[in-house]
Structure 1
């Protein structure tokens, strides 16, 4: 179900089970984590995640699951969360293309991705009121941080879904556009980033995570930036960037520290 291709320092991971809207069971989640591990081992400089067919990912594949005996805690804690951690910690910039259903586990995959571009058809929210369950996969943290508590509970209580355009307008993700444009747009952005100073990008990725997760204030954030800049100073890409600027030419970055 999970396809991985690597070309020109870019990994592309595809959820390829369109007949079930790319919903994920334990086996396919293990495949997804393995694909990220393989891409990391290959030393790629950027990664793109997308779903085949008419949806990104409709969530957990619950076909055959008995709700009376389902070990929901075990699935979320032992199966899903490790994959989300692997995705979030990927050692290169990551991008996702989202369209159609992006729900439950599918929303979690987007939360674990650095940059998300969505098609206007995307459906984002919390459908769990229809299942007698609660929003999961990091949805509470995402919604409260970017929408506030009132809008979060509105979405949870009503099970109403936001379009891709509405989600971007509300600050959930980066950009929205017509479905037939979003993949080519994202591939172009990923190629551009892969050719950039990826070590510097990783420093910013770590700083953003620290500001978000540790709630760093201004001066602690500045201290983190100072340390990151000191670590980058003198590296090949740092030297190349400065020299290219001084010589008024385009830099050629190698992604090396």
Structure 2
């Protein structure tokens, strides 16, 4: 059974993370499905792709359920594939929209950050705890969005920040609930169609701030440091005590 659902419309695709029982946590399988979906969208020359999550939240981030049964090498590869997905979305020729809601964590927040237009429902929250177990995933992209000092304030304490702070620091561009999503998508279609496809591509290249190789190297260095299992286990134990 697929972990994503794709609604293919003439003007846009809506990709729904569909593991509500796991809070749309990013398993190895769902990451590969998302990579394939973006390959397919680009092949179809789809101008607009929307990401959303089924259930209580957009995404709870990295799926920790199989950590104890996987080798450190397997875990490092999983993090690399997530970083590959983030880079794929951030560099996609498709205009991307994230529709976030609920309590979002880690790589789920990074998925939002990778999109061009970041929308969140009232009451949404975000937390990026990767540095608690020594992982640098999406940190630089987050800093490029909100600024270095704001990123440091949030990341060094793994602070949970609400949608109001996310709106103030620029992480979220628009606060809108599910009842407004149709209008958000219509506005995004109008935005995409404001320029010819070739001009949009020129603008994207001119304004590109992505540092895919640098971001991937930072992730690999942090994830491949010996003791990843112990660091994750210590973090999970600390969360149970909190």
- Give TM class, smaller chain: 0.7 to 0.9
- Per the TM alignment, residue 58 of structure 1 is displaced from its structure 2 partner at its CA by 0.8
Q: Which residue of structure 1 aligns with residue 37 of structure 2?
A: 35
Count of aligned residue pairs for this structure pair: 208
- Per the TM alignment, residue 86 of structure 1 is displaced from its structure 2 partner at its CA by 1.8
Which runs of structure 2 are paired with 1:42-57 in the superposition (5 Å)?
A: 42-57=44-59
Q: Return closer, same or farther for 1:68/1:52 CA change in 2, 3 Å cut-off.
A: closer
**Rg larger in structure:** 1
TM-score (norm 1): 0.72
| Cα pair 2:113 2:141 within 8 Å, conserved | no
1:74 aligns with 2:77: yes
- Per the TM alignment, residue 31 of structure 1 is displaced from its structure 2 partner at its CA by 0.3
Cα distance in structure 2, aligned partners of 1:116 and 1:145: 11
Relative contact order: is structure 1 or structure 2 higher (C-alpha 8 Å, sep ≥ 6)?
2
SS of 1:158's equivalent in the other structure is: coil
Cα distance in structure 1, aligned partners of 2:128 and 2:208: 24
Q: Which residue of structure 1 aligns with residue 119 of structure 2?
A: 117
Q: Return closer, same or farther for 1:158/1:204 CA change in 2, 3 Å cut-off.
A: same
For residues 217-256 of structure 1, what are the alpha-carbon distances to aligned partners after superposition, in whole Å with 9 as ceiling and x for unaligned? Answer: xxxxxxxxxxxxxxxxxxxxxxxxxxxxxxxxxxxxxxxx
SS of 1:116's equivalent in the other structure is: strand
| Cα pair 2:12 2:49 within 8 Å, conserved | yes
User: Gaps (5+ residues) in structure 2?
Assistant: 213-242
Q: Return closer, same or farther for 1:119/1:44 CA change in 2, 3 Å cut-off.
A: same
SS of 2:76's equivalent in the other structure is: helix
Q: Which residue of structure 2 aligns with residue 6 of structure 1?
A: 8
For residues 55-83 of structure 1, what are the alpha-carbon distances to aligned partners after superposition, in whole Å with 9 as ceiling and x for unaligned? Answer: 11110111021189433432222x21222
Cα distance in structure 2, aligned partners of 1:102 and 1:5: 23
Cα distance in structure 1, aligned partners of 2:46 and 2:168: 32
| Cα pair 1:143 1:172 within 8 Å, conserved | no
Q: Return closer, same or farther for 1:116/1:191 CA change in 2, 3 Å cut-off.
A: same
- Per the TM alignment, residue 108 of structure 1 is displaced from its structure 2 partner at its CA by 1.7
Tell me how large the CA RMSD over aligned residues is. 2.5
1:133 aligns with 2:133: yes
TM-score (norm 2): 0.76
| Cα pair 1:9 1:194 within 8 Å, conserved | no
Cα distance in structure 1, aligned partners of 2:22 and 2:35: 20
Structure 1 residues 90-99 or 185-194, which shifts more? 185-194
Structure 1 residues 55-64 or 197-206, which shifts more? 197-206
